[in-house]
Amino acid sequence: MAEALIEKFVKEKLAQAGILINGSNPWDPQVHDAHFYRAIFFQGSLGLGEAYMNGEYEVEKLDEFFFRLLDARLDREVNRSWLGIMFGLQAFFFNLQTKERALIVGKQHYDVGNDLFEAMLDKRMCYSCGYWKSAHNLDEAQEAKLDLICRKIGLKPGNKVLDIGCGWGSFAKFAAERYGAHVVGITISARQLEFAKESCRGLPVELRFQDYRDLNEKFDHIVSIGQMEHVGYKNYQIYMEIVNRCLNEDGLFLLHTIGSRASFKSGDPWLTKYIFPNGMLPSIAQLSTASENLFIMEDLHNFGADYDKTLMAWWHSFDSHWDELKGQYDERFYRMWKYYLLSMAGIFRARHAQLWQIVFSKNGVKGGYSRL
């Protein structure tokens, strides 16, 4: 009896978003195992993701499934589970992003294999949202994003720039080649560092395996591209204090981050377990509080809708190269990675998550800040 009631409840909730179990639309789940219903009911978003990884259901267009689910605000139902409460309590009582714990995401996610990211990303290896305003493809969108960042901070030849969370060196190489900047980049991924050093060879670029908390030197400008998602709410103010300490008095700090529409103290349980350990998204309120008395927020630019296009481009590249990759990654990994990319595309399509570029100054730009 209980199983039937759980199945009825899940079906009714999904129907509110126009999602029909075993329906004919490409966003309708085709259920192969009845455990699917219990997974969602008792484990929320974690159960939904694990059920997909286990092959308990299939969806032709996962991105559309998630778009409809979130557009109907069903996430408020899906995420109410004891596991979600447990993750929240854990984040409240413990700092999940200490120096030691920060290394976990480097090893589990960014070190998973450069071959995977080379197959999925653009030619510059940018692993953050592209800027699609005038772009026709992923390469153009990522170059436009890098150029936008350089222009927003007023980058000039000879400027010394810090790139916190430098990834595979995409910004460092672009800023050095196109703008004549001297760049210091830090990362906690050994595989990223190895790739970035080779990519930036011969350029005025210094790359280090270093935690941001160990920084204590001055820079003309500082950028943080896709790093804040790993910092954690307990460390937001420390992060801002370190950036303030390292930034010259007339310098600019550009923060490029995925953002949440509400303030939370933990990340999504499935993403935290399988993709970004200890990750969480900041809200504007949290960032504003952390930067209080340290910075003036000169400009806030939201182009979160562009992340939908970026993630779909990553998915198509990953899927088209799967035959080359599957010798090193199993079918469960394929389903996990597909779920990650397409669920995130749906999340951004529903405008449930945002992408912000925020420009900060220490003392205010005299005469006012001009974005471009």
pLDDT of residue 96: 45
pLDDT of residue 76: 66
pLDDT of residue 79: 47
pLDDT of residue 366: 92
Cβ neighbors of 132 (< 8 A, separation 6 or more) are 141, 144, 303, 306, 309, 310
Give the predicted TM-score (pTM) of the model. 0.92
Three-state SS annotation for the chain:
CHHHHHHHHHHHHHHCCCCCCCCCCCCCCEECCCHHHHHHHHHHHHHHHHHHHCCCEECCCHHHHHHHHHHCCCHHHHCCCHHHHHHHHHHHHCCCCCHHHHHHHHHHHHCCCHHHHHHHCCCCCCCCCCCCCCCCCHHHHHHHHHHHHHHHCCCCCCCEEEEECCCCCHHHHHHHHHHCCEEEEEECCHHHHHHHHHHCCCCCEEEEECCHHHCCCCEEEEEEECCHHHCCHHHHHHHHHHHHHHEEEEEEEEEEEEEECCCCCCCCHHHHHHCCCCCCCCEHHHHHHHHCCCCEEEEEEECCHHHHHHHHHHHHHHHHCHHHHCCCCCHHHHHHHHHHHHHHHHHHHCCCEEEEEEEEECCCCCCCCCCC
Sequence ranges of the domains in the chain: 2-80, 99-331+353-361
pLDDT of residue 358: 98
pLDDT of residue 276: 86
pLDDT of residue 266: 76
Residues of the chain with pLDDT under 50: 1, 79-98, 100-102
pLDDT of residue 231: 92
pLDDT of residue 113: 80
* Yes or no: domain 99-331+353-361 corresponds to CATH 3.40.50.10300: no
Tens-place pLDDT, residues 117-130:
999 999 999 999 99
